[in-house]
Amino acid sequence: MRTQMRLSGSGGQGVITAAIILAEAAVSEGKQAVQSQSYGPEARGGASKSEVIIDDGKIFHPHVKHPNCVLAMTQKAADKYFEDMDPNGVLVLDSDLVPSVPDVKNVVQIPITKLAVEKVGKALFANIVALGALVKLTKIVQLDTIKRSVAKRVPPSTVEKNMYALQLGYDAVA
């Protein structure tokens, strides 16, 4: 089975890092995964998008078509990236940063950045909060697997906070 995910926002929000962690988790569960990205020349603030395809078989073309799940961390990203979604796919929005909700069947609104700032202490953890929510929604990897992948990627001194951020996102989905 093929799962296609698109994580989008602006440069600095960590959507590419979140996508890499997700792909790493899938690989560690023995699946095939391909992660690609596109971003502007700016280090911060430009449009940023990363796509992950997870499959049991080989993956050639690296871009997603009709994603099962789209994460949008800015209004611009939400407006741009929902259109080609699978009709049964789910659109995950940062509820504070995306006030205008696109017309999609399945929308999940989570105060991703707000949770990161108020509960974990920094907006920096927003991508990991989002990752927790994505894993709960898609069940693409086990919670334990994504925990291990996050712990491997982040600076050792921040593992505890990142685990908390991940759980926050996971629990934010009903």
Partner 1 sequence: MSTARLMQGNEAVAEGALMAGVRFFGGYPITPSTEIAEGMAKMLPAVGGTFIQMEDEIASMGVVLGASLAGRKVLTASSGPGISLKQELIGYAAAAEIPVVIVNVQRVGPSTGQPTAPSQSDVMQARWGTHGDHPIIALSPWSVREAFELAVRSVNLSEQYRTPVILLMDEIVGHLREKVELPDEVEVYPRRQPKKSRAEGYEPYTPDEDLVPNIANFGEGYHIHVTGLIHDETGFPVGSPKVTEDAIRRLHQKIERAVDDIVAVEEIFMDDAEYAVVSFGGTARTVYEAIYEARERGIKVGMLRLITIWPFADKAIYELASRVKGILVVELNYGQVVNEVRRSACGRCPVELCAKYNMQIFEPEEIEDAIDRMIEKVERSGGFRAEGRSVNVEVISHD
By CB under 8 A, tell whether 142 contacts partner 1.
Answer: no
By CB under 8 A, tell whether 20 contacts partner 1.
Answer: yes
By CB under 8 A, tell whether 37 contacts partner 1.
Answer: yes
Contact (CB, 8 A) for 158 and 124: no
Cβ proximity to partner 1, 36 vs 138, nearer residue:
36
Q: Which residues contact 145 (CB under 8 A, 6 or more apart)?
A: 25, 28, 29
By CB under 8 A, tell whether 4 contacts partner 1.
Answer: no
The only residue of 38, 122, 139, 142 in contact with partner 1, by rule CB under 8 A: 38
Q: Which residues contact 52 (CB under 8 A, 6 or more apart)?
A: 4, 5, 6, 7, 19, 22, 23, 26, 33, 34, 35, 64
Residues counted in the chain? 174
The only residue of 7, 15, 18, 23 in contact with partner 1, by rule CB under 8 A: 23
Interface ranges with partner 1 (CB under 8 A): 20, 23-24, 27, 30-41, 59-63, 65
